[in-house]
Structure 1
Amino acid sequence: MKLGNHILLIVGAFIMIVPFLWMVLTSLKSFTETMQVPPTIWPNELKFENYLNVFQSVDFLKYYVNTILLTLGRTLAQLFLCSLAAYAFARLEFPGKNIIFILVLSVLMVPMQVILIPNYGILTQLGWIDTFYALIVPGMFSAFGVFLLRQFFMGIPKEIDEAAKIDGCSFFGIYWRVILPNATPALIALGIFTILSSWNDFLWPLIMTSSEDMRVLSVGIATFQGQYSTDYPLLMAGAVMSTIPMLIMFILLQKYLVAGIALQGARK
């Protein structure tokens, strides 16, 4: 039984890793090799200069900086705002709490495309189009983040809150000194989800920005894809460089991600 499970996992892992390996190998090929039929798997000569050509063709470093600022802004804001809202829904009592929480969760049922035009109109009126405000502010809060952290906070014994109150802690003091230190796995899990979604976001930055200076990686890499011909080595080289930070992050933090998801599910 264990042998069968291992074989199944190996086959699944191979299927998942093949596209990534193909991306890396294509980034090291010449343009001619990428157009050959049948396609070649291993390049005849490794073209490491493709990675340098990416920086020469577009302002790739600027795309990197914009993406980092976008990701940091959304992630830090979500960790703070979502944890505040989750603390209120999990630990405090106030009129209409359950109804408000249901309304917050109902946001998960609405596709982003439905509210894209109204959001664009609002940001146009605010004068935020083609600025970091348009990229960061709408993504500073998420219903999923509130739900994830609320479920985790509800599993923390309330006796800790009562002990903190006896010691003179305010509501914010309990949140900051008691709840957050005990919710590290859930916070890291939410941080990873937010970083991944922000780093890979394409449609929102594409619609809300128009200048070269405000492009992020996902939009910038798409410029290598032409209507009639595509420079696949440069496209794949840019994709590899944009993927590496997320890959490193997942390898370093995967145990926290799994722990956060497992604990969140166990405490429902």
Structure 2
Amino acid sequence: MRPGGYDYDTYSRLAGPLTEPDTADYRVQYTSLLSKEPHRIRAVLLMALAPLLSAVLLAYLVWPTHWTVREGDDTWRVPYDTVMLVSIGLICFFMLVNVTSIAHATMVARDPVPVYPEKGTRVAFLTTYVPGKEPLAMVRATLEAAVRIRHDGTLHVWLLDEGDSDEAKALCAELGVRHFTRAGVPEWNRKKGVHKARTKHGNYNAWLAMHGDAYDFFASVDTDHVPHPGFLERMLGYFRDPDVAFVVGPQVYGNYTGAVTKAAESQQFLFH
């Protein structure tokens, strides 16, 4: 970590530099993460040993000579011993499955090769806002970052406001952001379905019904996210593959210095 703080720019390019597709019939290409590992032999050994040791522990715990044998004790206690043994066996078995799956996922993990996005596409950047539930200062930070996003084409930033807030409208006008609300429209505020009231998916679907046809792509983040200026440059290129329907990127906790956020952030690394 740099003295000035988290090196967002460097870590936003971990998958490598942007490249130009080799052919017109582009398909997403991948590179093995293990091939980039300088200590790959040690990594392979660790990934192989982890499930092996978990299997040894499971065998040790359920080995017949390790079962509890009660002599001269109440017979009603025997079923409890059996329940405890089975419970221990099941817990260790699920641990073995978990360790094995994680080791396998680590061995076969791949990065998609980043490519330049197609020029001239129409993109909408969306985030939602619920007045009274989320502080407007947090919304400002997200929108200020969103208007700095680079894109070689049309880019409109939208705030999907659940409450039709005057303060939110003023903020959008100040930053040059487009404002949308479904408040007061019965067909977009139903008890259930794609336009269910007081839900994020209902809010997005209302915007799609009204404005979705005006864009080739839309990108979205939660209101507590601050997108990097290269957000679209790193994400949109994969859509040059006609089989790609959506792209998801990792997130980094801005307040990662706290113990709780460090622990929470580490839980999502596997999914990245």
Same-fold status (TM-score > 0.5): no
**Bigger RCO of structures 1 and 2 (CA < 8 A, at least 6 apart):** 1
Structure ranking higher in strand proportion = 2
Greater Rg, structure 1 or structure 2? Answer: 2
Please give the range of the TM-score, normalised by the shorter of the 2 chains: under 0.3
TM-score (norm 2): 0.24
TM-score (norm 1): 0.24
